[in-house]
Amino acid sequence: MADPLSEVIQLLRPRAVYSKGISGAGRWAVRYTEFGQPGFCAVTEGRCRLAVDGEAPVLLEEGDFVLLPATPAFTMSGFEPAPLLRIDPKTAPPPDREVRYGRTDGPADVRQFGGYFLFGSPDAALFVSLLPRMIHIRGIPRLTQLVRFLGEEAAREDVGRDLILERFVEILLIEALRAAPVQEARPGLLRGLADPRIAIALRHMHGDVERSWTVPDLARQAGMSRSAFFDRFVRMVGVRPMEYLLSWRMALAKTLLRGGGVALDEVARRIGYGSASTFSTAFSRHVGQPPGRFMRRSGPQAEPGHAARA
């Protein structure tokens, strides 16, 4: 059976890792503006406060891991009042050594290793919207170890570095998302996968995307009535079943079209459409342009004889 979480992460294509050591001592507080890209940190020593906009403030302790899939504005600080140091991560030059906040001499009250990466897929916003805004995990030492390994590799200039970093980030994301507490999370992919019946439907949608699924079909797979399944899917995932399926199909179609060399009717078949014309109509409505034009603008030229026509 398909693993929707792994498939979504592969489609997101995480890459371009940047990481750094951060420490704080005495009176300190730093305010980061909204960044929009995924950020992470692992506390390796001590404690500090983290206040992410729109979320309840949390105490970070040694061994904690935080993932912000879209990094909204946030404040990180010690436990004494301090003036805010404001930083815009979009314009501030990346430091070439450990960042120290507050008192510069003496031992640090907290040390952490943090950074960010980018999603290569232009469809990232769609799937990131189905993830929690903040993921705070405690008691999973391997996440801290992964962040350390990632940082060590990011600091190297060696053959295969970029490929290793991509794999590390994929593993880090999967580990963080499957360890994330979902009981009180907002509706999204993680809550859907945590629900045994909805997870069955999601795995079928991902595992047999060519099939002409209907809500009654998916409800039968989940062992529920149509109305109960529909209501539960929306409550858990936050979107309607056919809306989720359409988004996943179109994301796959974009990936195929960007690669080029695949005939339009073959793209249609692979994502569950009976004809190229039906697929073209659905794609145009969803994306805002016909698949042929999308392919020419977004990827390499298709091989002769395989060009899709708008």
For residue 227, the domain's CATH number is 1.10.10
β-bridge partners, 110: 24, 46
* Range of the structural domain that residue 221 is part of: 195-238
Check if the beta carbon of residue 31 is closer than 8 Å to that of residue 85.
yes
Co-location of 211 and 128 in the same domain: no
Co-location of 129 and 213 in the same domain: no
C-alpha distances (whole Å) from 150 to each of 86, 136, 166, 290, 299 are: 27, 19, 10, 40, 30
pLDDT < 70 positions in the chain: 1, 184, 299-310
pLDDT of residue 1: 64
Co-location of 55 and 160 in the same domain: yes
pLDDT of residue 249: 95
Q: Which tens digits make up the pLDDT trace of 110-167? A: 999 888 988 888 778 878 888 888 999 998 888 888 888 888 888 777 888 888 888 8
For residue 164, what is the domain's CATH number? 2.60.120.280
For residue 292, what is the domain's CATH number? 1.10.10.60
Gap between the Cα atoms of 20 and 4, Å rounded: 31
Of 154, 179, 204, the one marking the end of a domain is 179
pLDDT of residue 306: 37
Residue 309 domain-assigned? Answer: no
Co-location of 77 and 25 in the same domain: yes
Co-location of 134 and 210 in the same domain: no
Gap between the Cα atoms of 280 and 209, Å rounded: 17
Co-location of 90 and 215 in the same domain: no
Name the domain count of the chain.
3
Question: What does the block give as tokens for 298?
Answer: 């977004």
Co-location of 156 and 102 in the same domain: yes
Question: What does the block give as tokens for 21?
Answer: 């050591």
